[in-house]
Amino acid sequence: MKNTLIAIFCITTLLCSAQTTEKKFMVKLYSGFQSECSQEKQFNWFGDYYSYKTTINQGILPLAPAFAWFNSKGNCHEIELANLEWKRGFSENKVEKVGGVTNILNGSNIYRNLYGLKYKYTQNIFKLKSWKIKPFIAYGALLQVAYDAVVPLTATSFVSEETHVDTYFQVEPGFEYTFYKNFNINLSLPLTLANLDAERYTTDDSSLPENLQSTEELSFNIFPKFYQFKLALGYKI
């Protein structure tokens, strides 16, 4: 009987300690919406003038896993595998003649690879454990590498490759809502304060001067037009 009471006491103590132990880690799965507007200055060698190309990209962010760990103050560090994307497409230009005969004038394989890694440090604004809704502010940086290539299928066109290495410095306000035990929803609005962009462009077009067949450019932008709205499902472990 005495051994039974001791066993019951030990099990009860373990269960109580398990319930009161603070979770130290969290896994997340992100998605959301992104909008980016960029303007590229291009020099026309033969016309001796500059032109400006404006590009707007909008879309749903791909699913991105993240891992977070908490410190003694209840704030957390987080690493996210962001904006992972691999695409391959094909374009062609064809002419259909009278009689139903179709000739393909030219075609190209189009490649798009995108890799991102984000680190941020999150601070709770109000450190009240009883609150299910917890506002926070985060500070971090997103490193993103984008590779685009156009590989023609005919000898009349030329291969072109473009690589961008971007670093986005962000402040991210948001809130976390715990809806069931260790599960929570995370809503945030990353605000990009600055962007460092390293760009490299190459082509095998021999009609261009050699200095235009391969170009490199480094730029630093304050408050770039790079907007995100992010939603995450998290689980504390």
Span 2-23, mean pLDDT?
Answer: 45
pTM for this prediction: 0.77
Residue 37 and residue 52 in contact, taking contact as beta carbons nearer than 8 Å: no
Specify the higher pLDDT residue, 32 or 15: 32
How many domains in the chain? Answer: 1
pLDDT digits (tens, 9 = 90+) for 65-86: 999 999 988 899 999 999 888 8
pLDDT bracket for residue 212 (50, 70, 90): confident
Instruction: Tell me what pLDDT residue 3 has.
Output: 45
Range(s) of the domain holding residue 203: 2-236
pLDDT bracket for residue 20 (50, 70, 90): very low
pLDDT digits (tens, 9 = 90+) for 177-206: 999 888 999 999 999 999 999 999 999 888
Instruction: Tell me what pLDDT residue 46 has.
Output: 57
> Structure tokens of 199?
């760009």
pLDDT digits (tens, 9 = 90+) for 109-128: 888 899 999 999 999 888 76
pLDDT bracket for residue 45 (50, 70, 90): low
Q: CATH number, domain at 175?
A: 2.40.160.20
> Structure tokens of 77?
């560090």
Contacts of 198 (CB under 8 A, 6+ apart): 164, 165, 166, 216, 217, 218
Q: Is 187 helix (H, G, I), strand (E, B) or coil?
A: strand
φ, ψ at 47 (rounded to 5°)? -90, -10
